[in-house]
Amino acid sequence: MKRQYHALSIVAPSATKIAQGLKTLEIRSWQPEQLPLKNLVIVENQRFLNNENDEDMGKIVAIVDIESVHAWQQDEFDAACATYWEAGYWAWVISNVRPIQNNKDVPAKRKIYRLELELESF
């Protein structure tokens, strides 16, 4: 049975690092409209989606929960698997990571979007 999920696309290899438990913070310039975000589908795609209607295709790599968001701190560089630090960004705290093995292409879009999926129990 298909079900609606919230999804977030993340450029490779960062989404894989989330699925592996290596990346525990996702850094964004914006905050989600509501928290917590339970059962958020992480879609890994290959390019940044910078413009309003940009889309790509990607693969589902994990389902996670986002319990809280706070101002990103310089000492959280490693938890974000970042290549640089800059003030003014938000750290989304990732928890309850459930890796997903799925080779099916799914849409990758900007911000948080909805995906209709038929996923087995996770």
For residue 10, the cross-strand partners are 44
Angle of CA points 92, 10, 90, to nearest 5°:
25
pLDDT digits (tens, 9 = 90+) for 84-105: 999 999 999 999 999 998 888 9
Among the listed residues 61, 53, 54, 64, the one whose alpha carbon sits nearest the alpha carbon of residue 26: 64
pLDDT digits (tens, 9 = 90+) for 69-81: 999 999 999 999 9
Angle of CA points 58, 83, 19, to nearest 5°:
40
Q: Where are the domains of the chain?
A: 3-117
- Ramachandran region, residue 96 (left: φ > 0; alpha: ψ -120 to 50; beta: rest): left
Buried b (16+ CB within 10 A) or exposed e, 63-82: bbbbeebeebeeebeebbbb
**Is 3-117 assigned to CATH 1.25.40.10?**
no
- Tokens 């490693």, located at residue: 78
- Would you state the structure tokens that stand for residue 97, as one six-digit string? 């990571």
Q: Which residues contact 34 (CB under 8 A, 6 or more apart)?
A: none
pLDDT digits (tens, 9 = 90+) for 24-78: 999 999 999 999 999 999 999 999 999 989 999 999 999 999 999 999 999 999 9
pTM over 0.85, yes/no:
yes
For residue 121, give Cα distances in angstroms to 9, 30, 81, 117.
21, 30, 29, 12
